[in-house]
């Protein structure tokens, strides 16, 4: 293990300096990455939020290292560098497995501390064991941070968390666009009644106009969560994770705002899906649409008497 970590440290030592460091050296204004802004908020947050942030960050780190190792194997296959690349990939795989094991070992009793260094580095201490999030990937750090941000901001409303920081950055604008994309729209037909629809094949039919504001709020929340889930499932498929579409289930996580989505017998992802978790029969009906959309295919789904299936959704007073 010590030799494997030494290899990784050598790799990190030759990584190019982060863009912020280069800008500072050149005397240019430095714009703090969005992940650092979020970390500043999470540092003093309640333990459940710190735990979710750490779990996501470490899990995505394991995924990124696994992808990097696989690329190294594929790119150097049948070349003179194949043997060296295989050794390096094995070391990276070992480190990725260690990161995944650390993430999976996080429980409600695990101590979590987040420290932002004087150099703006983000450091996690999971049960006292350190993990550095910044500067971890050569040429892929932005991709890594964006993945963590997207998933964390599904669990927690980042616009609200960051409001006090008075940010107006392109990255923050991205969060707003992500939440407002794939929105539902409505049609009112004398035959079908009120219908909540999306441009990519969802159609939820309601029989009556009564409680239309609650129906609108419930459908908007269901649609937003379904599109979030599609994005994450597509990413899992791209990483080679098999999905048992008939057996996908959503379970609440104790002492957390998140939910566990079981993909197969041994794989799961963590998201915040309160509306879908409260609408189990509806979720069962939309799984064929999820499967198709996650694989980039078109699918038309009509759900009759949708309000009966959305009764558990919290639409407020």
What are the sequence ranges of the domains in the chain? 2-177, 181-309
Percent of the chain with pLDDT over 70: 77
Q: Does residue 58 surpass a pLDDT of 90?
A: yes
More confident residue, 212 or 277: 277
pLDDT > 90 in the chain, percent: 27
Does the pLDDT at position 178 exceed 70? no
With a cut of 80, say whether residue 164 has pLDDT above it. no
Name 94's Cβ contacts closer than 8 Å, sequence gap at least 6. 1, 4
pLDDT, tens digit, 9 for 90 and up, residues 251-271: 998 877 789 999 988 888 888
For 183-207, the three-class secondary structure string (H helix, E strand, C coil) is CCEEEEECCCEEEEECCCCEEEECC
Q: Are 54 and 112 in contact (CB under 8 A)?
A: yes
Confidence of residue 78 (pLDDT cuts 50, 70, 90): low
Give the least confident one: 40-49, 104-113, 177-186.
Answer: 177-186
Q: Is the pLDDT of residue 103 over 70?
A: yes
Per-residue pLDDT, 270: 87
Phi, psi for residue 46 in degrees, rounded to 5: -60, 155
pLDDT beyond 50 at 176: no
* pLDDT at res. 64: 87
The Cα–Cα gap between 250 and 252 comes to 7
pLDDT category at 301 given cuts 50, 70, 90 is very high
CA distances from 229 to 81, 132, 212, 260, 293 (A): 39, 28, 26, 11, 10
**The pLDDT of residue 143:** 87
The whole-angstrom separation of Cα 273 and Cα 258 is 7
Predicted local distance difference test score (pLDDT) of residue 13: 33
Lateral strand order in the sheet of 185-189: 185-189, 193-197, 202-205, 301-303
Closest CA to 110 of 96, 95, 124, 97: 124
CB 275 within 8 A of CB 177: no
Query: Which has more pLDDT, 23 or 91?
Result: 91
Q: 283-290: which pairs have CB atoms within 8 A and are 24 or more residues apart? A: 283/250, 285/309, 286/202, 286/226, 287/245, 287/246, 287/248, 288/245, 289/201, 289/202, 289/226, 290/226, 290/229, 290/230, 290/233, 290/245, 290/248
Q: Supply the Cα-derived Rg of the chain in whole angstroms.
A: 22
- Whether this prediction's pTM lies above 0.85 is answered by no
pLDDT of 29 over the 60 cut: no
Q: Give residue 304's pLDDT.
A: 93
Q: What is the pLDDT of residue 312?
A: 92
The pLDDT score that the predictor gives to residue 21 is 39
* 3-state SS class at 3: helix
Average pLDDT taken over every residue of the chain: 79
Q: Half-sphere exposure of residue 237, counting CA atoms within 13 Å on the CB side?
A: 16
Q: Which helix (H) or strand (E) holds 301?
A: strand 301-303
């Amino acid at each position: 293990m010590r030799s494997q970590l030494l290899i990784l440290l050598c790799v990190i030592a030759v990584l190019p300096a982060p863009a912020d460091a280069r800008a500072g050296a050149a005397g240019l204004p430095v714009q703090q990455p969005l992940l650092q802004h979020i970390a500043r908020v999470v540092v003093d947050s309640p333990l459940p939020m710190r735990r979710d942030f750490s779990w996501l960050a470490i899990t995505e780190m394991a995924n990124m290292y696994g992808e990097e190792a696989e690329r190294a194997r594929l790119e150097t296959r049948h070349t003179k560098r194949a043997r060296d690349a295989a050794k390096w990939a094995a070391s990276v795989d070992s480190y990725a497995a260690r990161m995944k094991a650390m993430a999976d070992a996080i429980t409600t009793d695990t101590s979590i501390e987040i420290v932002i260094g004087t150099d703006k580095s983000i450091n996690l201490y999971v049960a006292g064991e350190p993990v550095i999030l910044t500067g971890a990937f050569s040429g892929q750090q932005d991709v890594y941070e964006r993945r963590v941000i997207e998933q964390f901001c599904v669990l927690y409303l980042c616009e609200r968390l960051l409001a006090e920081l008075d940010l107006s950055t392109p990255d923050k604008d991205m969060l707003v666009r992500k939440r407002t994309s794939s929105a539902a729209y409505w049609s009112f037909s004398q035959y079908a009644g009120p219908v909540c629809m999306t441009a990519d094949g969802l159609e939820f039919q309601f029989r009556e106009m009564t409680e239309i504001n609650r129906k609108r709020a419930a459908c908007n929340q269901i649609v937003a969560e379904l599109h979030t889930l599609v994005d994450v499932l597509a990413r899992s498929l791209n990483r080679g994770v098999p999905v048992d579409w008939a057996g996908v289930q959503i379970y609440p996580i104790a002492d957390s705002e998140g939910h566990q989505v079981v993909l197969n017998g041994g794989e799961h992802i963590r998201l915040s899906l309160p509306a879908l978790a409260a609408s189990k029969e509806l979720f069962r009906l939309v799984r064929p649409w999820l499967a198709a959309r996650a694989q980039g295919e078109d699918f038309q789904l009509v759900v009759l008497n949708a309000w009966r299936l959305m009764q558990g959704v919290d639409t407020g007073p």
